[in-house]
Amino acid sequence: MSLAVALEVTPLPLRHPLPTPPPHHVEQPPTAFHNPWPSFHQHSWLDALLTSRRNRDFKPVPPRDQLVKIVRPEWGNGQDGLKATWIGHASFLIETPKQNNNEGGGRGVRILFDPVFSDRTSPVSWAGPKRYTPTPCTLAEVPEVDVVVISHDHYDHMDAETLRPLYERRKGKIHFLVPLGNAVRLHGMGIAMEDVTQLDWWEGVQVTVPTAGSVKLTCTPSQHFSGRALWDRMSTLWSSWVLECVNTSTTATAPGPASPLRLFFSGDTGYRYVPSEATEDTVPVCPAFVEIGEEYGPFDLSLLPIGLYSPRHFMSPVHCTPEDAVCLHRDLRSKRSIGMHYGTVRGGISQYFEDVTEPPRRFREACETAGMVWGKELALLNVGETVVVR
């Protein structure tokens, strides 16, 4: 491996110390994980079976012209700033601003979050949730990636058929960041353990890419669960992520580092458990997002989930409604937030209850109800579209 292109991954000082043992660990060292808040509720397999068969309100996917628009990605070429391109569902390509030694050319660090290019989010190619919105490009057309960040091990976020070719294409020049317990998942896909760093909540690293710059990435809490089979539920950790640009540029009028741009990626998360008999505003909410906002905010851009939330009583512990996403935006002290996790694939249970055209409508309505400016504070992207933050 050439030293000229080798990545450097350095642990960051712990900014948010945890008690010993950490409250989300089951045993020490952890054999499993759990959500340590009253905002979470663990449903049983019987709950899942009964919910999936009762009071279904199935609505077929409408024609393509009634769904989210797909555009050819330009990846923000010709623009400088923090760039985020939506590839569909929870997949985003992020590029940090060019550093001052890259003026006139070059690029920033490229980070790929939860990349999924497969047609099905399933352990098999012939069954399971099927993509109804295609990716805006092929995997081979994605610009060269430096870091791949995974939020958890579910098939719609950790896709072996995407991760393997990404690794083969950039072996020796790419690094993977995952929550605790997930390194072995990637190793089983053929990714060398030395090319994977696994982190607990609140742990972070700085990744330095020669000629492209540096970026800080911190594993932060989310309210979700994990498992790729019936027997391994909660055995690996799930997370959100904080990205901080490392800005080394200076100006004559403002010497020294400028304020770094910050991005929050939620992964999958719920916000509150809403039983059938409860109302939204009487139940506890997950406190982690206020903590993240206080420790790392304000965020210049947040990528927040708005879909696959029905039926509400069953999905609320692990998936956000558009209204929940607006609350996340506020808790995180986000300046601008983009909705994701909708318009691409139907969930295993929510497919029987949720109109796929509903999340974007509700997100805009929730924005306006909250008195926020649509398109500025809260917004949506076309699949393949890039937003640039400066």
Q: Phi, psi (5° rounding) for residue 38?
A: -70, -10
Ligand-binding site membership of 352 (annotated): no
Q: Which amino acid is located at 78 in the chain?
A: G
Please report the pLDDT score of residue 47 as a whole number: 83
Ligand-binding site membership of 155 (annotated): yes
Please report the pLDDT score of residue 4 as a whole number: 44
End-to-end CA, the chain: 34
Q: Helix or strand or coil: residue 359?
A: helix
* 327 contact partners, CB below 8 Å, separation of at least 6: 271, 285
C-beta of residue 321 within 8 angstroms of C-beta of residue 309: yes
Q: From residue 323, how far is each of 191, 210, 272 by CA, in Å?
A: 38, 41, 11
Q: Which residue is it, tokens 């870091």?
A: 147
Tokens found for residue 284: 């506890």
Q: Helix or strand or coil: residue 383?
A: strand
CATH number of 8-248+280-389: 3.60.15.10
Helices H / strands E in the chain, number of each: 7, 17
pLDDT under 70: residue ranges of the chain: 1-5, 100-105, 248-258
Q: Phi, psi (5° rounding) for residue 74?
A: -115, -5
* 324 contact partners, CB below 8 Å, separation of at least 6: 270, 271, 272, 309
Tokens found for residue 62: 């409408």
Q: Give the global pTM.
A: 0.95
Tokens found for residue 196: 């994977």
Secondary structure E strands in 29-146: 32-33, 82-88, 91-95, 110-113
Q: CA-CA distance, 19 to 17, in Å (whole number)?
A: 7
Please report the pLDDT score of residue 34 as a whole number: 98
Query: Domain spans of the chain?
Result: 8-248+280-389
241 forms beta bridges with 219, 265
Q: How many CB atoms lie within 10 A of CB 2?
A: 8
Q: Which amino acid is located at 165 in the chain?
A: P
Please report the pLDDT score of residue 255 as a whole number: 43
> How big is the chain by its Cα radius of gyration, in Å?
20
What torsion do the CA atoms of 146, 151, 155, 160 make, to the nearest 10 degrees? 30
Please report the pLDDT score of residue 45 as a whole number: 79
- The answer to whether the bond into 73 is cis (omega within 30° of 0) is no
Please report the pLDDT score of residue 142 as a whole number: 98
Please report the pLDDT score of residue 67 as a whole number: 98
